[in-house]
């Protein structure tokens, strides 16, 4: 079993070797398997990258991200410029619908509207996270009621079978450690994963199955 010091060492290495993380002002504390990130970075993208790096470490059970985004003068952008850039990206993205709306205030981007699939909600945020001048993203995009493709035709047993098959197909998930329950299109994932990355992959695989309207993540890390 890795100690907190072991996890701290592994996280520090991951932060130092990730080419998308340039800041050397990131402090890490690990207690009871949970990592706490503090300090500051130059962009929202880097803030997210640091959190992903910590979650990639096996046996990390939690990450508290309190990194501040301090935009360098050369990268400062007005709210209107950020909003225009965001709308342009969404307009040209072939996988995203035209039902997503953008508002920006003090460098914080608010996403609202609807999407047919859960992966579109995540992709909208991912696609905009590298914008210059951005301090944070608040994602309030709703999943359309019709987004659960085939939900009227598939029984809970069929949906469960599809989710279990999807987990087994994934090279990143130990499907034998994850249990699946389905009720009215809601999939509950229980069990354990070695890392948050593995748990996230299980959730992603479940969302990709037709007939799923919600995925509840109860996977323990460690």
Per-residue pLDDT tens digits for 21-57? 998 999 999 999 999 999 999 999 999 999 999 999 9
- Domains 4-69 and 73-146 belong to one CATH topology: yes
Domain 156-221 has CATH 3.40.920.10: no
- Write down the CATH number for the domain with range 73-146: 3.30.1340.30
Q: Provide the pLDDT for residue 153.
A: 60
Fold for the domain defined by 4-69: 3.30.1340
Residue 63 pLDDT greater than 50, yes or no: yes
Q: Provide the pLDDT for residue 175.
A: 96
Tell me the mean pLDDT in the region 59-68.
Answer: 94
In the chain, pLDDT over 70 holds for what percent of residues? 96
Q: Provide the pLDDT for residue 108.
A: 98
Mean pLDDT of the chain: 93
Tell me the mean pLDDT in the region 109-113.
Answer: 99
Residue 101 pLDDT greater than 60, yes or no: yes
Question: Three-state DSSP class for 100?
Answer: strand
CA distance 175 to 165: 9
Q: What are the structural domain ranges in the chain?
A: 4-69, 73-146, 156-221
Label residue 147 by pLDDT band (50, 70, 90). very low
> Using one digit for the tens of pLDDT, what is the confidence trace for 132-145?
999 999 999 998 87
Question: Could you tell me whether strands 178-183 and 186-193 are parallel, antiparallel, or unpaired per DSSP bridges?
Answer: antiparallel
- Using H for helix, E for strand and C for coil, what is the string for 142-200? EECHHHCCCCCCCCHHHHHHHHHHHHHHCCCCCHHHEEEEEECCEEEEEEEECCHHHHH
Q: Provide the pLDDT for residue 161.
A: 96
- φ/ψ region of 217 (left if φ > 0, alpha if ψ in -120 to 50, else beta) reads beta
| Comparison of pLDDT for 194 and 129, the residue scoring more | 129
């Amino acid at each position: 079993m890795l100690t907190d010091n072991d996890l701290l060492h592994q996280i520090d290495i991951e932060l130092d070797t990730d080419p998308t993380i340039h800041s050397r002002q990131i402090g890490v504390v690990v207690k009871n398997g949970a990592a706490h990130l503090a300090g500051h970075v130059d962009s929202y993208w880097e803030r997210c990258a640091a959190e992903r790096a910590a979650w990639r470490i096996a046996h990390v059970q939690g990450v508290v991200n309190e990194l501040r985004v301090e935009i360098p003068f050369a990268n400062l952008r007005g709210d209107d410029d950020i909003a225009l850039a965001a709308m342009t990206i969404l307009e040209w993205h072939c996988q995203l619908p035209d039902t997503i709306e953008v508002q920006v205030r003090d460098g914080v981007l608010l996403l609202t509207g609807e999407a047919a699939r859960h992966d579109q909600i995540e992709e909208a945020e991912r696609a905009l996270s590298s914008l210059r001048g951005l301090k944070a993203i608040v994602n309030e995009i709703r999943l359309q009621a019709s987004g659960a493709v085939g939900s009227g035709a598939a029984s809970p047993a069929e949906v469960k079978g599809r989710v279990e098959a999807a987990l087994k197909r994934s090279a990143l998930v130990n499907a034998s450690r994850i249990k699946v329950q389905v009720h009215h299109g809601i999939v509950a994932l229980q069990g354990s994963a070695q890392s948050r990355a593995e748990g996230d992959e299980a959730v992603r695989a479940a969302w990709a199955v037709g007939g799923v309207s919600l995925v509840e993540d109860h996977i323990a890390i460690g």
